[in-house]
Amino acid sequence: MDTVTSLDELASLVADRPDLYIRWSRGPEADKRGTSRDTLTGAELPGLCANPLAVENWWGERPLRLWVARRVYDYRHLEWEKGPDVRAWVLVGVELGRGPDNEPLVECCQPVAWVAEEVVEVAERLVESTDPGEWGMLRRSS
């Protein structure tokens, strides 16, 4: 599988494909079973937890690069919470339902690319430098 090595490259992918999702895991080979598990209850979910990369209409004329950075930034905590070898990758997916945090559960139709660590770092810097308030990733400590 190829690796996306810049935020601009990832944004270009997203501009051309509304069916792309980002997932944090050990990759397509490890996810062959096609399901995720709810960490609170242990329930098997009918698809893989992933997040859409498609730009929502409400985003308006804001930069695509910032949208993509935000999507990478929001779930980067999974990289260290889920253990070694967990990283971001992009896939073409079909939504099958919603998970316990209202995240899309998708069927992976095609793995597209790994997301290089430098892309994650650039996304973090961009989001934090743009911060008009207190964004913070979705996993917030108390």
* pLDDT (tens digit per residue) in 76-106: 888 888 888 999 999 999 999 999 989 999 9
C-alpha–C-alpha distance, residues 94 and 118, integer Å:
28
Q: What is the pLDDT of residue 131?
A: 60
Instruction: Sketch the domain layout of the chain as residue ranges.
Output: 2-130
Q: For tokens 């004329």, name the residue.
A: 61
Spatial distance between the Cα atoms of 37 and 105, rounded to a whole number of angstroms: 11
Q: What is the reported pLDDT for 141?
A: 46
User: For helices 64-74 and 7-16, what crossing angle results, to 10°?
Assistant: 110
Please count the other Cβ atoms lying within 10 Å of the Cβ belonging to residue 49. Answer: 25
pLDDT at 108 over 50: yes
The 10s digit of each residue's pLDDT in 15-32 is 989 899 999 999 999 999
Q: Is the pLDDT of residue 128 over 60?
A: yes
Alpha helix (H) residue ranges in 33-116: 64-74, 78-81
Q: What is the pLDDT of residues 60-78, one digit of tens each?
A: 999 999 999 999 998 888 8
* Mean pLDDT across the chain: 90
- Please report the pLDDT score of residue 133 as a whole number: 58
